[in-house]
């Protein structure tokens, strides 16, 4: 009995350790190892793995304006692509529920679009469109299929008994969609949207490699050409930070709007 009484408080103390502490230790450990590897193997301008301290110093030398001007262009393209890609995907998912006859052919078309290599599509878009349009389309293509499938899964997960009640009272497909399916789909929808957010940024950056005036991808190409390896890493860190922020903001909004959903579903 004494052993059990002593073991329980210890288990409680172990369980009370903040969840973020392990992640913080892992990040700090990774940075330390990265610093050591960079100091040992980074040689001059041609080294591929500069230490984090050198990357940060180079970012301060470049200044906030340099990174912000390029990040702003990428964010604008990614935001428009995210918006139009998701609007189209959600609209099609709703139409599939109201008119199921269109689901099979259009879903197959979506699979074909999703399977197209973005590296092969980007040059064609660059020839056909101008200015920022190719990057916006690429960002939209990156998010379309994920949101379409996530929305469809959520709409199909609506409670069957509730749908039967609405049907018994004379409600049709539209009434079922607005009264039951939409609320049921929100957790899956936000799960898809938070994956789509960094995907849109990736699509916009890839589009920069095929012709653009400014953006993170354009700055990366210029830095690679000039063999400014620390700048390439700095731009990559900024891109990763933007993708992580987009993911986190979308997850937070999903959690606030779907408090009834399981923790892993809407956030």
pLDDT in tens, 128-176: 887 788 889 899 998 998 899 888 888 887 777 777 777 777 777 777 7
Residues 182-226 pLDDT 10s: 888 888 899 999 999 999 999 889 888 887 778 888 889 888 888
Whether residue 32 lies inside any domain: the answer is no
Whether residue 254 lies inside any domain: the answer is yes
Between 8 and 47, name the one with better pLDDT: 47
**Length of the chain as a residue count:** 267
Whether residue 2 lies inside any domain: the answer is no
Residues 56-85 pLDDT 10s: 888 898 888 988 988 998 999 999 999 999
Whether residue 15 lies inside any domain: the answer is no
Helices (H), 177-228: 182-208, 216-225
Whether residue 264 lies inside any domain: the answer is no
CATH number, position 160 = 1.10.3720.10
CA 20 to chain centre: 21
Residues 32-43 pLDDT 10s: 887 787 777 766
Provide the 10 A C-beta neighbour count for residue 62: 17
Q: How many angstroms separate the CA atoms of 93 and 113, rounded?
A: 16
Q: How many angstroms separate the CA atoms of 61 and 18, rounded?
A: 36
Q: How many angstroms separate the CA atoms of 204 and 215, rounded?
A: 9
Provide the 10 A C-beta neighbour count for residue 126: 18
Buried b / exposed e across 208-247, counting CB within 10 Å, b at 16+?
Answer: bbbbbeebbbbbbbebeeeebbbbbbbbeebbeebbeebb
Whether residue 10 lies inside any domain: the answer is no
- 47 pLDDT exceeds 80? no
Indicate the pTM of the whole model: 0.79
Whether residue 39 lies inside any domain: the answer is no
Whether residue 4 lies inside any domain: the answer is no
Provide the residue range defining the domain that includes 227: 50-258
Between 255 and 160, name the one with better pLDDT: 255
Torsion angle defined by CA atoms of residues 244, 245, 251 and 253, in that order, rounded to the nearest 10 degrees: -170
Split into its structural domains, the chain has a count of 1
């Amino acid at each position: 009995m004494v052993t059990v009484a002593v073991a329980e408080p210890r288990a409680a103390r172990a369980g009370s350790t903040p969840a973020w502490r392990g992640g913080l230790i892992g990040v700090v450990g990774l940075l330390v190892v990265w610093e050591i590897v960079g100091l040992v193997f980074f040689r001059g301008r041609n080294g591929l793995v500069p230490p984090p301290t050198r990357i940060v110093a180079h970012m301060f030398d470049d200044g906030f304006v340099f990174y912000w001007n390029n990040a702003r262009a990428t964010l604008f393209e990614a935001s428009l692509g995210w918006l139009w890609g998701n609007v189209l995907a959600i609209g099609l998912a709703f139409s599939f529920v109201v008119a199921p006859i269109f689901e099979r052919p259009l879903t197959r078309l979506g699979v074909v679009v999703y399977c197209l290599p973005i590296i092969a599509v980007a040059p064609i878009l660059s020839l056909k469109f101008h200015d920022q349009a190719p990057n916006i389309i690429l960002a939209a293509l990156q998010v379309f299929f994920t949101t379409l499938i996530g929305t469809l899964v959520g709409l199909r997960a609506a409670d069957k008994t509730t749908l039967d009640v609405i049907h018994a009272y004379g409600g049709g497909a539209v009434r079922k969609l607005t009264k039951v399916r939409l609320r049921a789909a929100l957790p899956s929808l936000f799960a898809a949207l938070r994956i789509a957010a960094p995907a849109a940024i990736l699509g916009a950056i890839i589009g920069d490699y095929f012709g653009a005036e400014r953006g993170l991808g354009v700055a990366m190409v210029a830095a690679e050409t000039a063999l400014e390896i620390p700048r390439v890493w700095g731009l990559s860190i900024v891109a990763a930070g933007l993708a992580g922020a987009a993911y986190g903001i979308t997850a937070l909004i999903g959690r606030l709007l779907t408090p009834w959903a399981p923790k892993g579903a809407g956030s």
